[in-house]
C-alpha cells in the first residue's frame, strides 16, 4: 500500500485499507467459541482490539501491568456490551518472572486458547535495564512476548487439535523495523548505554518481533500444528505508547496529519489478522492497512532469525 492509498483509504486486495475500522474488518465474524489474550489490552489499540473481539463474542483476557486500569477498561466495555466476556490478569512484560507467573495463572484456569495478541510495548523510552538486566525496549517488546508465546504454545496446540479451529498469534510490529541499527540486532551490545539510541532500539525490538514470527511460523509448519503467526504494522496513532516523545510526535502529526489514523482504524489490521476468515492458513507474513506488505531485507535474513532465537533462549535460561 503506497502513500496515496494511505491518505485516501483506498482498499487493497483484501477489500480493506487504511480507513477501515476494527469493526468493519470483523463484520459477520462469530468468535463465540474463541478465547483470546490481548497484552496491553487496557488502552489504545489494545483496548479497541479487546472491545471488538468481545463484541464478536470472544472470551477475552486482558493481560496488563496496571490491573486497576484494566478493570476500568473492562467496566467501560461492559457498559456498552453487557454480555461481553472479559477477564483481567496481571502481566508485566519487562519482567520474565511476571511472564512466568501470568502463564502459570492462565494455564491453571483450564481455559482453551485460540488467539494470542502480542500487543503491549514501550516506545522511544530513555535507556534503562529491566529487572533481568536487559535493555528495556528489547525486554518488553520482544523478549517478554517471546517467553509468553513459548509458555502458552502448548495450550494453543491442544486447543487447535481438540477443536479443529485454527489458532492465531499476532505480533504487533511496526514500520519502525526499517529504522534499526546497521546490523539489525546488536547481539553483543544489547545493553550498551554508550551506543543506545531510543529510536533505533525501538526499531530493533520491532525487527525482533518479525524475526520471531518468521522462525516460529517455520517451526509450527514443520510440526504440522494448526496455528499461524503473523506480524502487523498498525499505522501512526497517537496513544499512550508515545508518552516518551509526545512533543515530537505532536509536531510530526501536525506536519503529516493526513497519514495518521484514529484508534478504531489503528486496531483494524490486528483484528483483521486475528479474526478475519480470509487469513485462514496464512502465516509468517507482515501486514499493514489490512494487506500483506514486504518487510526490510534484515527482516528476511535467515542468519538474523537463527541468532535472535538462540539469544532469546539464552536470555530466558539465564533469568531462571
Q: Which domains does the chain have, with CATH numbers?
A: 21-318 (3.40.50.720)
* Global confidence as pTM: 0.92
With a cut of 80, say whether residue 10 has pLDDT above it: no
35-39 and 59-64 beta bridge pairing: parallel
Q: pLDDT tens for residues 14-23? A: 999 999 999 9
Active site annotation includes 202: no
Q: pLDDT tens for residues 74-110? A: 999 999 999 999 999 999 999 999 999 999 999 999 9
Q: Say which of 181, 196, 272, 286 is annotated catalytic.
A: 196
C-alpha cell at 250: 505532536
Residue 235's pLDDT is 87
Neighbouring CB atoms inside 10 A of 194's CB total: 6
C-alpha cell at 198: 531510543
Q: pLDDT tens for residues 210-266? A: 999 999 999 999 999 999 999 999 987 755 554 545 555 454 444 444 556 999 999
291-292 and 286-288 beta bridge pairing: antiparallel
State the Cα–Cα distance between residues 189 and 151, nearest whole angstrom. Answer: 27
Residue 3's pLDDT is 52
Residue 236's pLDDT is 77
Q: Are 26 and 271 in contact (CB under 8 A)?
A: yes
Amino acid at each position: 500500500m503506497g502513500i496515496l492509498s494511505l491518505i485516501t483509504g483506498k482498499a487493497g486486495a483484501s477489500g480493506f485499507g487504511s480507513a477501515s475500522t476494527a469493526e468493519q474488518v470483523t463484520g459477520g465474524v462469530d468468535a463465540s467459541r474463541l478465547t483470546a489474550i490481548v497484552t496491553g489490552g487496557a488502552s489504545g489499540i489494545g483496548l479497541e482490539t479487546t472491545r471488538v473481539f468481545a463484541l464478536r463474542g470472544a472470551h477475552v483476557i486482558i493481560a496488563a501491568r496496571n490491573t486497576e486500569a484494566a478493570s476500568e477498561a473492562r467496566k467501560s466495555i461492559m457498559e456498552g456490551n453487557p454480555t461481553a466476556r472479559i477477564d483481567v490478569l496481571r502481566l508485566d512484560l519487562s519482567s520474565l518472572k511476571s511472564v512466568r507467573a501470568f502463564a502459570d495463572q492462565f494455564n491453571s484456569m483450564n481455559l482453551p486458547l485460540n488467539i494470542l495478541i502480542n500487543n503491549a510495548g514501550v516506545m522511544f523510552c530513555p535507556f534503562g535495564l529491566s529487572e533481568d538486566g536487559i535493555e528495556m525496549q528489547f525486554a518488553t517488546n520482544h523478549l517478554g512476548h517471546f517467553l509468553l508465546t513459548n509458555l502458552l504454545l502448548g495450550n494453543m496446540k491442544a486447543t487447535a487439535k481438540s477443536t479443529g479451529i485454527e489458532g492465531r498469534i499476532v505480533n504487533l510490529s511496526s514500520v519502525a523495523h526499517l529504522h534499526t541499527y546497521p546490523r539489525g540486532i546488536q547481539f553483543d551490545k544489547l545493553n550498551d548505554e554508550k551506543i543506545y539510541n531510543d529510536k533505533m532500539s525501538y526499531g530493533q525490538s520491532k525487527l525482533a518481533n518479525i524475526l520471531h514470527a518468521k522462525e516460529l511460523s517455520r517451526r509450527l509448519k514443520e510440526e504440522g500444528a494448526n496455528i499461524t503467526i503473523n506480524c502487523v504494522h498498525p499505522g501512526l496513532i497517537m496513544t499512550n505508547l508515545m508518552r516518551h516523545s509526545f512533543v515530537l510526535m505532536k509536531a510530526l502529526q501536525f506536519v503529516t496529519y493526513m497519514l495518521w489514523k484514529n484508534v478504531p482504524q489503528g486496531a483494524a489490521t490486528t483484528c483483521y489478522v486475528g479474526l478475519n476468515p480470509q487469513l485462514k492458513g496464512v502465516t509468517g507474513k507482515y501486514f499493514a492497512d489490512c494487506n500483506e506488505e514486504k518487510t526490510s531485507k534484515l527482516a528476511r535474513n535467515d542468519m538474523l532469525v537463527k541468532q535472535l532465537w538462540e539469544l532469546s533462549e539464552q536470555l530466558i535460561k539465564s533469568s531462571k
